[in-house]
């Protein structure tokens, strides 16, 4: 793994033929410290966002000791990488064999569920264990989020009371969890969800020991500039404090994107220009899945030497990836200088969340080179003494 100060320095030194993933451990450390210092409860990292063992170790060293795992493969990964970590199996639908292995082999004690069938499965797989933390997942709205998670999981309101009462009987600690959707753009999403939690507790008349507000904490992307994260924490804190819960109840959250997005960016090379379309050497089957399939816009910048002639006129471009598939298309728009051409390099930012995690080897592409850089991410919610509003301009001048 190479070490460089910046993306431009790497391009100057290596002139890479294949895509290069840039990792910024200092950015992940900063994000982890922000949650540790400001979230009024316990932070679990959602491993699915980026399962890199290197990132897991950075977060652990920065104080994140609990991990939201969604598959037995993630359980094994984190257990192998961080043997002392606390693992929470937060997928509401699990194979009984996976529950059994997680409990008996890896020491997992926390499981989520959203049906009576899943509760019975957990009880069977753990042989009626008396040390379980069972969190009932509620279905809540994703109206305030860019990617909905409201359709697949979550107990319906009419089923919640019975499920909570049954889980209370089987649990050492009973919890309620939810997920407001990915990239929540308003803190109000959590206020609405916590009102659903209140209604569920009142209907079931049970003592709740854990309230887990899930993920959804946003990062910065073009056209998706969220409020400061502290605004989310304030809304969650007020809502939690007003709930009819145990005096010793714990508040949890499960950030994935917010802890990992700034950790990685990607250097790609332009192989061809056709009008306002750029053919690059990574795409929909690589780190740019979200850009292709859900129209996600990522910050971009052209990597050029400061003494080169650089156009100051920006133009909207779309990208084609390297495979033979027409679906390998990222519509953007991605704003870049209008004189960009084949052979130029582009840095695509904020890909630490989900980008690297969703790579494939389709069409033989996908060879990944990794370099550590020490400069700042292209955008940040944490830069500047953890300030929420200080961001660097997304223009080429920021590289020099």
Catalytic residue annotation: 324
Please, are residues 335 and 315 in contact by the beta-carbon 8 Å criterion? Answer: yes
CA distances from 275 to 74, 312, 317, 318 (A): 43, 18, 9, 10
Please, are residues 119 and 94 in contact by the beta-carbon 8 Å criterion? Answer: no
d(CA 368, CA 281): 11
d(CA 268, CA 309): 20
Beta-carbon contacts of 1 under 8 Å, excluding residues fewer than 6 positions away, are: 370, 371, 372
DSSP type of residue 288: T
d(CA 235, CA 222): 25
| Residue 129 buriedness (CB in 10 A; 0-12 / 13-18 / 19+) | middle
CA distances from 205 to 70, 91, 182, 247 (A): 29, 25, 31, 15
CA angle (99 as vertex; 95, 101 as ends), nearest 5: 110
Nearest Cα to Cα of residue 137 among 70, 185, 74: 70
| Residue 2 buriedness (CB in 10 A; 0-12 / 13-18 / 19+) | middle
Collapsed DSSP state (helix, strand, coil) of residue 347: strand
d(CA 374, CA 123): 48
């Amino acid at each position: 793994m190479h070490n460089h100060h910046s993306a431009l320095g790497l391009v100057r030194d290596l002139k890479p033929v294949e895509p290069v993933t840039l990792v910024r451990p200092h950015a992940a450390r900063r994000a982890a410290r922000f949650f540790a210092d400001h979230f009024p409860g316990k932070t679990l990292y959602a491993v699915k966002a980026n399962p890199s063992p290197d990132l897991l170790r950075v977060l652990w060293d920065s104080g994140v000791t609990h991990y939201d795992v969604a598959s037995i493969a993630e359980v094994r990964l984190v257990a192998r990488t961080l043997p002392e970590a606390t693992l929470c199996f937060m997928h509401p639908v699990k194979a009984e064999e996976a529950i059994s292995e997680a409990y008996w082999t890896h020491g997992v004690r926390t499981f989520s569920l959203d049906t009576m069938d899943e509760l019975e499965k957990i009880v069977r797989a753990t042989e009626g264990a008396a040390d379980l933390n069972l969190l009932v997942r509620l279905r809540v709205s994703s109206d305030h989020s860019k990617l909905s998670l409201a359709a697949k999981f979550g107990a319906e309101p009419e089923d919640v009371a019975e499920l909570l009462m049954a889980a209370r009987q089987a649990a050492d600690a009973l919890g309620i969890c939810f997920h407001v959707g990915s990239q929540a753009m308003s803190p109000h999403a959590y206020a609405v969800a916590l009102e659903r939690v209140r209604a569920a507790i009142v209907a079931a008349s049970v003592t709740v020991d854990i309230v887990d507000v899930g993920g959804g904490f946003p990062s910065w992307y073009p056209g998706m500039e969220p409020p400061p994260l502290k605004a989310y924490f304030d809304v969650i804190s007020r809502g939690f404090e007003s709930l009819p819960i145990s005096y010793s109840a714990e508040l949890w959250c499960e950030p994935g994107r917010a802890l990992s997005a700034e950790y990685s960016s990607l250097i790609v090379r332009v192989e061809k220009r056709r009008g306002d379309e750029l053919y690059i050497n990574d795409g929909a089957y690589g780190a740019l899945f979200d850009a292709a399939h859900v129209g996600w816009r990522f910050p971009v910048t052209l990597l050029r030497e400061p003494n080169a002639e650089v156009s100051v006129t920006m133009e909207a471009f779309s990208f084609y990836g390297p495979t033979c598939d027409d679906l390998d298309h990222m519509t953007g728009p991605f704003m870049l200088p209008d004189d960009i051409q084949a052979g130029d390099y582009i840095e695509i930012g904020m890909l630490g969340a989900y980008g690297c995690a969703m790579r494939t080897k389709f069409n033989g592409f996908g060879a990944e080179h990794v370099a550590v850089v020490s400069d700042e991410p292209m955008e940040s919610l944490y830069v500047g003494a953890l300030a929420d509003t200080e961001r660097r301009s997304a223009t080429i001048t920021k590289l020099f």
